[in-house]
Amino acid sequence: MQSFLQIATAVYFPIIAACVIGILLSKALTKAGRQFKNKPIQEIVPDFLARSLYLFGIPIGVANFIRKAEFNSTVWLSPVIAWAAVLLAILLCWLFIKSSNKPKKATTKASFMLLSYLGNTSYLGFPVILLLPQLGPRYFSSAVLYDILGTLLAGYGLGVFIARQAGRMSLSTKNDPSQSVDDNDQSLATTISETNLSKPNLLKDKSNSLVSNPLLDSLTEIVKNPTFYAFFVGLFLKTLAIPDWIVATLNAIAWASIMVALCVMGMRIQQLSSKIDFRLAIQPVAIKTILVPLITAACLTVFGFDGPQRLVLVLQASMPCAFVSLILAENYDLDVELTVASILLSCIVFAFTLPIWTSLFTTW
């Protein structure tokens, strides 16, 4: 009971408050009905805030918290655990799809897979790790490595590749109606098996996106992500003696960025469709928020991981479906309805599972 109250006051209250502010702001902007350059203001504001966080806020926050984080040999295993969780999710996704009697389009399969392994490890994962009384900034390094070398690469690397292949299959089906759904699905499975809440401009033109170089697209998005470099800036700052006023300024910017990120998440949630069939999302959400973290936790325990390190990894593995899944779905004409339903349902599920994971794995 005490653990739940700690989570409620330290984590739920600031996160929910910031998200509610974002939802109310989005509703107010929608009600105002203003436009700027023929675009609704309620869409411009979150895009601007997300872009600012992507370029400045989140990188400054990451550099600041990495400066104060503890490092040991086990920290560098975070990306390995992240990719193990990704591969586990893909395997479970394949088993779920294989056991289904209902044929699925290639685009639906691609969305199912992306939702199963891509988690919101930055915009939500960072504040959860930082705000939890059991963790805090000292253990932030594991969360950042999990996100940068795990989720980021899996999203803008493998995720772009999967989405592009599904988009191409969908396009070929439109051009050749005689091609069956099962043929497309088999082609997608073969292609994947042969390869081992900001909104960056992944694509400017959907038609161009399907003919451009997939590897080059993926590498470009990864290399130009400022958070990737912020991690190394934070490591460099650990070696310097920084004046108190600069430390205070960095702390203020870092925490302000976290809160603004949560507000942007609230604005995004408010703008998602209200007519959603959550039944579509049960399977990918179950994989992402329950099965993957449960199996990950069991394996970590078997291999001797415990304490804060294990809790950080389990929580990052249990994060709700990432908004990048929606970006990929919109850009590559995947299953947007399934994606929206999964994002919302996974956020609800995570609210209930967070105290469970924390209670089970706070063993120090």
Q: What is the CATH number of the domain that holds 247?
A: 1.20.1530
Reduce the DSSP state of residue 130 to 3 states and report it.
helix
More confident residue, 212 or 76: 76
pTM, two decimals, is 0.81
Q: Can you tell me the mean pLDDT for 278-293?
A: 93
Please list the residues that pair with 36 across neighbouring strands. 39
Average pLDDT over residues 335-347: 89
pLDDT (mean) for 215-238: 79
Residue 222 CA to its chain's centroid (Å): 14
What's the pLDDT score for residue 252? 92
Q: What is the pLDDT of residue 364?
A: 65
CA distance 19 to 24: 9
Residue 106 structure tokens:
């290639």
Residue 190 token pair: 């073969």
pLDDT of residue 328: 84
- Overall domain count for the chain: 1
Q: What is the mean pLDDT of residues 248-252?
A: 91
Phi/psi zone of residue 51: left (φ > 0), alpha (ψ -120 to 50 degrees), beta? alpha
Rounded CA separation 97/195 (Å): 19
Q: pLDDT over 90 for what percent of the chain? A: 31
Residue 124 is encoded by which pair of tokens? 């939500």
Return the pLDDT at 326. 83
- State the average pLDDT over residues 234-241: 89
pLDDT, residue 268, reads 80
Cβ atoms 147, 130 nearer than 8 A: no
DSSP β-ladder status, 35-36 and 39-40: antiparallel
How confident is residue 94, by pLDDT bands cut at 50, 70 and 90? very high
Can you give the pLDDT at residue 176? 57
Is residue 363's pLDDT more than 90? no
Q: Which of 20-24, 175-179, 338-342 has the lowest mean pLDDT?
A: 175-179
Please give the structure tokens belonging to residue 43.
């869409």
What's the pLDDT band for 337 if we cut at 50, 70, 90?
confident
- Kindly report which listed range (127-131, 183-187, 227-231) carries the lowest average pLDDT score: 183-187
Which pLDDT band, with edges at 50, 70 and 90, does 191 fall under? very low
* Residue 358, C-beta contacts closer than 8 angstroms, at least 6 positions apart: 3, 7, 132, 134, 311, 315
pLDDT for 114 equals 94
Query: What secondary structure, in 3-state letters, does 313-347 show?
Result: HHHHHCCCECCHHHHHHHHCCCCHHHHHHHHHHHH
Question: Using CA of residue 312, residue 268, residue 150, residue 165, what is the dihedral sign?
Answer: positive
**pLDDT of amino acid 115:** 94
Return the pLDDT at 175.
Answer: 56
> Which of these ranges, 330-334, 338-342, 356-360, has the smallest mean pLDDT?
330-334
Q: Which tops the pLDDT comparison, 297 or 363?
A: 297
Structural domain harbouring 157? 2-361
Mean pLDDT of 74-87: 92
Of 339, 353, 191, nearest to 272 by C-alpha is 339
pLDDT > 70: percent of the chain: 84
Residue 136 DSSP SS3: coil
Q: Tell me what pLDDT residue 196 has.
A: 38
